[in-house]
Homo-oligomer: A and B are copies of this chain.
């Protein structure tokens, strides 16, 4: 079911039961597997591959209870060249997935987010709005990236990490801001990062640590609350 106002390049392979809405742009050599939905206006560059049951270009929803209504004037979703997208993925409008990135199965990425070149977003990972992820970043399976987070180039987040951006937990106080993870920092699996903490360049957060304060560059922290690791001599 391809809308006649969609524009398709050469050598595009489209599976069964795919929906491509109006004003979608698809470059050359793109593979779209069975049952994908590409919403109006989405831009997909050359060489992109998309597995089954993925929804590209979704719009935010809201209800009365929501404190912060999502933006409605979003730009199209842009999928740059050679990106690979798994199955059952949801990507929102207003987001850019840069060249060669890999978005694995069951991932959802909200609006106004940038995922840098060659970065990997592991299966079932969740990325909130207004987040910046640099180049060659690895975010492993099941990790949650809160809204307003910055993750610099070459950082590594192990599986099932979590963080938040709201110190006062929906009290309506304060500005929402997520952690800052500096270049090449490594976060162990199942670690928790409190709002606004900065994980310094090259720092290491141990598995299961709860980070309540900034971590200095090239420092390793562990425990709940996380403290610098004292190496036994």
Contact = CB atoms under 8 A, between A and B. Distances in A.
Interface in A84-140: 84, 86-88, 90, 100-102, 104-106, 108, 118-120, 123-124, 126, 128, 136, 138
Contacts of A118: 63-65
A27 interface: no
A66 interface: yes
Interface of chain A, helix or strand or loop or mixed? Answer: loop
A192 interface: yes
B208 A188 contact: no
Interface in A137-173: 138, 141-142, 144, 146, 156, 158-160, 162-164, 166, 169-170
Interface residues of A, number: 72
Q: How many copies does the complex hold?
A: 3
Contacts of A77: none
A213 interface: no
Contact of A192 (B88, B128, B190): B190
B51 A52 contact: no
A126 B106 CA distance: 10
Contact of A35 (B37, B62, B186): B37
Nearest to A101: B63
Given A35-B37, A63-B100, A63-B118, A144 B142 contact: yes
A51 B62 contact: no
Contacts of A16: 1, 17, 19
Given A35-B17, A124-B126, A119 B65 contact: yes
Contacts of A163: 159, 189
A58 to B, nearest CB: 6
Contacts of A215: none
B102 A65 contact: yes
A159 to B, nearest CB: 5
A43 interface: no
Given A51-B55, A63-B101, A64-B118, 15 more contacts: A15-B19, A16-B19, A37-B53, A53-B53, A53-B88, A65-B100, A66-B120, A108-B124, A124-B126, A160-B160, A169-B186, A169-B188, A189-B192, A190-B192, A190-B210
